[in-house]
Amino acid sequence: MPRILPDVLKNLFRKPATVKYPKQRRELPENFRGKPVIDKEKCISCGLCVKICPDNAITLDEKTKKPRIWMGLCMMCGRCAELCPRKVFTMSKEFELATYDKYKAISE
Amino acid sequence: MIEALGYVLAFFVFPGILFASAVGLLFAGIDRKLTGHMQHRIGPPIWQEFLDVGKLFGKEDITPAAANSFVFNCAPLLCFGAVTAVMLLLPINSSQPVLTSVADLIVIIYLLNIPAVCMMLAGYASGCPFGTTGSSRYVVQLFGYELAFITAALSVAAKVGWSLSLSSIVSYQAQNGWMVSQVALIPAAIAILIAAQGKLLRVPFDIPEAESEIVHGSLTEYSGPKLAILRIAYNIELFVVAAVVVNLFFGGPVPHTIGGVYIPGVVSFLIKCFGIVVLSTVIRNIAARLRIDQALKFFWTFPTLLAAISLFLVVVT
Amino acid sequence: MNVDEVARLIKKYADDVKIVGARHVFAVTDKERYIEALTALRDNDLKHLTTITGVDRGDIVDVIYHIHCGESLLNLKLSIPKTALEIETVTDIFPGAILYERELMEMLGVQVKGHPDPRRLFLSDDWPAGKFPLRKEAKK
Amino acid sequence: MTFIVPIGPQHPALEEPAHFRIEVKGEEIVGVDLRLGYNHKGIEQALSDRSYAHGLYLSARVCGICNSTHSLAFTRAVESVAGIECPDRARYIRVIDAELERIHSHLLWAGIAAHEIGFTTLFMLFWRDRELSLDMRELLFGHRIYASGTYLGGARVDIKEKDIPQLIRTLAKLEKSVKHYIDVCTSDRTIIARCSGVGVLKKKDALELCAVGPTARASGVDFDIRRDDPYAAYDEISFDVIVERDGDVLAKVVVRLREILESIGIIRQAIDAMPKGAIRTKFPENVPENEAVGRTEAPRGELMYYVRSNGTNKPERVRIRTPSYANWPSAKPMLVGGTIAEIPIVVASIDPCYSCTDRVTIVDAETGKFRIMTKEELRRLRR
């Protein structure tokens, strides 16, 4: 009698382990590293984030000198959020970043 | 004229294409949903098979350059035609099938082999190495389960006094209870269930379509409408093989009155077929896929022996 | 074998033996003595050659044999001038070195004499013959 | 008469591209030739262009599955080059990070092996339980796969007290189901029919060809870096090395599943014995001229980083030898003698990680003309 049989029959009556993803979502833990979000007021344009980003994904805007993140390059390592002296960057919970246009994938 | 119209109607609507494909696709959908829940996941909706087939019909029809196009295009149609033809020979709503002939059990067994032959032809004709490997494995497996299947069917025919017509088998069972209830035929019932698992290419024996080794076996090059026809043919075959097993062993379309409620023959027949499909789904979910040589060794030892025993018992007593 | 035994064993074949941390031994040997060193190691049934590293230092190429010895790791360094870049194969002593020597050959251009199967391993077939990616001049 | 059956580079059984030229006489395999390098990323050359801090993130991305051990090995090598000691609490966090990764990596492999032999239910159940360990990594370190718990000179994130009860509950659930799977795998007739006696690697071959990790331990080679060259906090944690004798695919399944139970035990000990205190020390910008080797026990075997520094903040040379690279020569004795039908399951039994193997340097070369893509071109292309 295969040992997996009771497993299989029990599963029939248990609530499935999967959720219907787009409709129901799992809640994410609080230090989850999603897309970095920038709070422009706090920024003092010191340019440290440009140097520490491993992927060179952060560039300063020409005019306003505020950081802008190329989401095509960002690997969400959370280094900018850690080392920014003014805590301008915070890692949000957003991870659905699919887009048609690579140049629109920018986190302002 | 009216009779001819009756036949055409019977072929296209009731036990024919429409009814068979609807029930077949529904059974396959329930089978996928059950497999999903058995694997502790939600699984697709029950009508998923209808959606899949519908989508495939919309796709572009491609014939690979290396393929031998005539055989490649005809194989699905032949397969589909053979399987629906079997529907007419099966007693569905009463012990009288649409087309009766003296030895329709033999005709059914042959018609059930045509889809297998078509799959082999399709594999060889598709010109892709996966196709040829899949077909050669299918030939080996065909010889494996066919022996058990025929011996089990013969043992039932022997029980009914060597009459090979299904209607006589069904009417015999109407009088003195299901074939399975007789001890001599229980090994044959087990044997035919295992052989059906092999015939339907379900997991312990789905070697010709092993997706981790040869993509989709002989159906690798098929896409679009041709694949849709093959999928419908496979689903009808699922229903037909279950129907044959029910007719041979589980009493066929016999109306019952349980608790005062009158259940017409067709409904009880469909419930019994559904039972067989569920049993095959359970077997599908508790076993790994065997190698082709192991499968052949298994087929020729275990189920064939059981069928031979019950044939011997029936002939002796 | 713990660190001190390995150091004592290798002293005969190598000079400048130093123990780093609790379990790593670094030793420098030269072209004549490294085959006997490796055979002596294998005779003390140290069979596991972790890998062979190639480092390009301008005019010298360092070939380092990392051998796992029970509780410690021996790194045997061998400096070869770029003018005469060939060494003996060690596949007869450590059969596991087949792939590492092929990589050494295609990445640094070190000729390994007597290698059973000197084909390319990682580089694509249309890679120009004379160019070695890990060489210093590849960077300029 | 033998003829060559080419398997790959694109093949349903291989997760990543590798090319096997299998010499076959009838159904039986006679010779095996291997062609790698389809997944080339040139990481070693790239590592010597990056500073140590950025190199850490790149070293984590060598392999898609075992990234904590890669960054741990790189950190261990760089810390011994720079002569830095990481605080005690960080050592325990590193152990938890590495063991959680071993659990999810082994369960991932077990699922793929079950899929190779056609047991879809077991495949789904394995991957359902893998989610438990992935949720724990997400809870503790912020990301399911790239947890990157290690940092040069300590740990990146501290394990909070309030997450510990949930971690212990999940470990208990995981332990119960893995014990059940060990019974299933050793008793189910169809699994035994497909796995026992298949792809046997004898102990002599394993020793000679320097096989590493579960592949070697399944053939009786008692070799585990966590005990032979202890790093992080493994010297203060008691665990035993799982060794099987008969070296076939079934032994490899059992070794990996029992190692998951060991890992659960290790994590429990690490949680209890974790001291309070700082989790990071300052890491100097420039590292003096030195060379060192950092080794860890990746889920697939012994992983080695050799780092040579030259006084600047960039390493002069980094050599990565990944476990799958060491296991490739032992694929030959396993395959020879078997039949074609066994190739997928035997190749999968080494648990090969091709992107680990192809990390050596190669820069874009036009045919005939040797041209190096400057960083500017690369950056413009990327944007």
Output the DSSP codes for B227-244.
HHHHHHHHHHHHHHHHHH
- How many residue pairs bridge chain B and chain D with CB atoms within 8 Å of each other? 62
B80: left (phi over 0), alpha (psi -120 to 50) or beta: alpha
Q: For position D131, which CATH number holds? A: 1.10.645.10
DSSP states of D73-139: HHHHHHHHHHT----HHHHHHHHHHHHHHHHHHHHHHHHHHHHHTT-HHHHHHHHHHHHHHHHHHHH
Domain limits for position D62:
42-325
> Domain of B115?
2-316
User: Are C42 and C25 within 8 A, CB to CB?
Assistant: no
**Band (C19; pLDDT cuts 50, 70, 90):** confident
Q: Closest approach of chain B CAs to the CA of D131, in angstroms?
A: 13
Residue with tokens 């790194």: C75
- For B38, the closest of A2, A11, A20 (CB atoms) is A11
**Would you state the structure tokens that stand for residue B276, as one six-digit string?**
């067989």
Burial class (CB in 10 A: 0-12, 13-18, 19+), D271: middle
Across the interface, whether the CB atoms of D209 and C95 are under 8 A apart is answered yes
Task: Please report which helix (H) or strand (E) contains residue C69, including its range.
Answer: strand C60-69
Q: Kindly state the average pLDDT of the residues D231-253.
A: 90
Give D280's DSSP letter.
B
Q: What sign for the dihedral angle of Cα B126, B130, B131, B136? A: positive
Rounded Cα–Cα distance for residues C1 and C5 (Å)? 6
Q: Is B42 near chain D, with CB under 8 Å?
A: no
Token pair in block for residue A91: 């890692």
Which of C74, C82, C78, C88 is closest to C23 using CA atoms? C74
Question: Is A1 in the D-facing interface, judged by CB distances under 8 Å?
Answer: no
- Alpha-carbon torsion (D258, D264, D268, D270), positive or negative: positive
State which H helix or E strand residue D308 sits in.
strand D301-309
Note the pLDDT of residue D359: 38
**What amino acid is encoded at B100 in this protein?**
T
Res C139: pLDDT: 62
Helix, strand, or coil here: C131? coil
Is C20 in Cβ contact with D292 (below 8 Å)?
yes
Q: How many CB atoms lie within 10 A of CB D3?
A: 9
Please list the residues that pair with C18 across neighbouring strands.
C26
User: With contact defined as beta carbons under 8 Å apart, do D216 and D349 qualify?
Assistant: no
- A31-69 pLDDT per residue, tens: 888 899 998 888 888 889 899 998 889 998 888 888 999
Give the three-state DSSP class for A63.
Answer: coil
ipTM higher than the 0.95 cut: no
CATH of C3-96, one of 3.30.460.80, 1.10.10.10, 2.40.110.10, 3.40.30.10: 3.30.460.80
Contact C131/C107 with Cβ under 8 angstroms?
A: no
What is the DSSP code string of B30-43?
HHHHHHHHHTTS--
pTM for the predicted model, two decimal places: 0.90
Dihedral angle, C-alpha D214, D220, D223, D224, nearest 10 °: 40
**Is the Cβ of D223 closer than 8 Å to some Cβ of chain C?**
yes
Q: What is residue D182's three-state secondary structure? A: helix
A17, B38: Cβ pair inside 8 Å? no
Give me the mean pLDDT over the C34-49 stretch. Answer: 87
Interface mutation target, options D210, D215, D319, D358, chain C, most CBs of C under 10 Å: D210
Answer yes or no: are the C-beta atoms of D213 and D299 closer than 8 Å. Answer: yes
Angle of the B265-285 helix axis to the B224-249 helix axis, nearest 10: 110
pLDDT at D376 over 60: no
Question: So what's the pLDDT on residue D369?
Answer: 30
- The answer to whether B204 contacts D190, with C-beta atoms less than 8 Å apart, is yes
- Termini Cα distance of chain A: 61
Question: What per-residue confidence (pLDDT) applies to D62?
Answer: 83
Nearest beta carbon to residue C128 from set D325, D361, D368 = D368
Give the torsion through C-alpha atoms of B20, B25, B27, B28, to 10 deg: 140
Token output for D349: 């039994």
* pLDDT value at residue D77: 92
- B233 φ, ψ (degrees, to nearest 5): -60, -40
Q: What average pLDDT does range D42-55 have in this prediction?
A: 85
Interface of A with B (CB under 8 A): 2, 4-5, 8-9, 11-12, 14, 16-18, 20
Which region holds residue D180: left if phi is over 0, alpha if psi is between -120 and 50, else beta? alpha
Query: Which of helix, strand or coil describes residue D241?
Result: coil
Closest CA to D50 of D303, D376, D318, D284: D318
Give start and end residues of each alpha helix (H) in C1-124: 3-11, 34-43, 98-108
Say how far apart CA B65 and CA A19 lie, in whole Å.
43
E strand or H helix that includes residue D35: strand D28-35
**What count of Cα atoms within 13 Å lies in the side-chain half-sphere of residue C21?**
25
Q: How far is CA D377 from the centre of its chain?
A: 33
Lookup: tokens for D10: 């694109």
The alpha carbon of residue D372 and the mean position of all alpha carbons in its chain are separated, in whole angstroms, by 31
With touching defined as 3 or more inter-chain CB pairs under 8 Å, the answer for chains B and D is yes
Residues 68-127, chain D: which have Cβ within 8 Å of B? 114-122, 124-125
Compute φ and ψ for C40, nearest 5 degrees: -60, -40
- Would you say residue D15 has pLDDT above 80? no
Spell out which residues of chain D touch residue C75, defining contact as CB-CB under 8 Å.
Answer: 293, 306
* Pairwise CA distance, residues D312 & B155, whole Å: 86
Considering only CB atoms, D124 lies closest to which of B40, B212, B286, namely B40
Using the Cβ of D190 and the Cβ atoms of chain B, whether some distance falls under 8 Å is answered with yes
Q: Which of C44, C56, C107, C122 to substitute to test the interface with D, most D CBs within 10 Å? A: C122
Of the candidate ranges B22-36, B123-137, C104-118, D342-356, the one whose mean pLDDT is the lowest: D342-356
CB-closest option in B212, B291, B294 to D115: B212
Q: Is D143 on the interface with A (CB under 8 A)?
A: yes
The pair of three-digit structure tokens given for residue D66, joined into one six-digit string: 């075992």
User: Quick one: tokens of C14?
Assistant: 């190598």
pLDDT reading at D170 higher than 90: yes
Can chain C be said to touch chain B, i.e. do they have 3 or more Cβ pairs within 8 angstroms?
Answer: no
Beta strand C86-88 with C111-113 is parallel
User: What does pLDDT average to over chain D?
Assistant: 83
Q: How many domains is chain B partitioned into structurally?
A: 1
Assess whether pLDDT exceeds 90 at residue D38.
no
Work out the number of other CB atoms within 10 angstroms of the CB of residue B280. Answer: 21
Taking a C-beta distance cutoff of 8 angstroms, is the pair B160, B110 a contact?
no
**Burial grade of C105 (CB within 10 A; 0-12, 13-18, 19 or more):** buried
Higher pLDDT, D18 or A65: A65
Q: Which residues of D touch C1 (CB under 8 A)?
A: none
**The predicted structure's pLDDT at residue B136:** 85
Q: Is the peptide bond before D9 cis (omega within 30 degrees of 0)?
A: yes
Output the CA–CA distances (angstroms, integers) from residue A72 to A56, A84, B104, D63, in the order listed. 11, 21, 67, 20
pLDDT bracket for residue D1 (50, 70, 90): low
Q: CB distance B291–D115 less than 8 Å?
A: no
Q: State yes or no: pLDDT of D349 exceeds 90.
A: no
Answer yes or no: is pLDDT of C23 > 60.
yes
Please list the alpha-helical segments (H only) found in D188-341: 189-195, 203-208, 213-217, 225-228, 249-273, 323-327, 331-335
The reply to whether residue D382 touches residue A76, judged by beta carbons under 8 angstroms, is no
Q: Does D207 contact B at CB distance below 8 Å? A: no
Higher pLDDT, C40 or D375: C40
**CA–CA distance, D261 with D258 (Å, rounded to integer):** 5
Q: Which CATH class is domain A27-107?
A: alpha beta
CB-based contact B39 A18, cutoff 8 Å = no
pLDDT tens by residue, B101-153: 777 888 889 999 999 999 888 888 887 777 888 888 888 899 889 999 999 99
CA atoms within 13 A on the CB side of D207: 13
The total number of structural domains that make up chain D:
1
Q: Do strands C72-81 and C24-29 pair parallel, antiparallel, or not at all (unpaired)?
A: parallel
Q: Which of B219-223, D143-147, D169-173, D360-364 has the lowest mean pLDDT?
A: D360-364
Contact A16 B286 (CB under 8 A): no
The CA distance from C103 to C90, in Å, is: 14
Contact D119 B213 (CB under 8 A): no
What's the CA gap between D257 and D358, in Å, rounded?
Answer: 27
Given a contact cutoff of 8 angstroms between Cβ atoms, the answer to whether D93 and D140 are in contact is no
> Between C123 and D210, whose confidence is greater?
D210
In this complex, is the C-beta atom of D204 within 8 Å of any C-beta atom belonging to chain A? no
Each residue's pLDDT tens digit, D185-229 = 999 988 998 888 888 999 998 988 888 999 999 999 998 999 988
Which parts of chain B have pLDDT scores under 50?
A: none
Q: Does A34 touch chain D (CB under 8 A)?
A: no
Q: What Å distances lie between residue D170 and A105, B85, C33, D46, D84, CA to CA?
A: 37, 56, 56, 39, 35
Q: Flag whether pLDDT at C46 surpasses 60.
A: yes
> Which residues in B218-317 belong to E strands, given as ranges?
256-258, 261-263
3-state secondary structure of B314: helix
Mean pLDDT, chain A, whole residue set: 88
A 10 A CB-CB count for B44 gives 14
Q: How confident is the model at residue D4 (pLDDT cuts 50, 70, 90)?
A: low
E strand segments, chain B: 256-258, 261-263
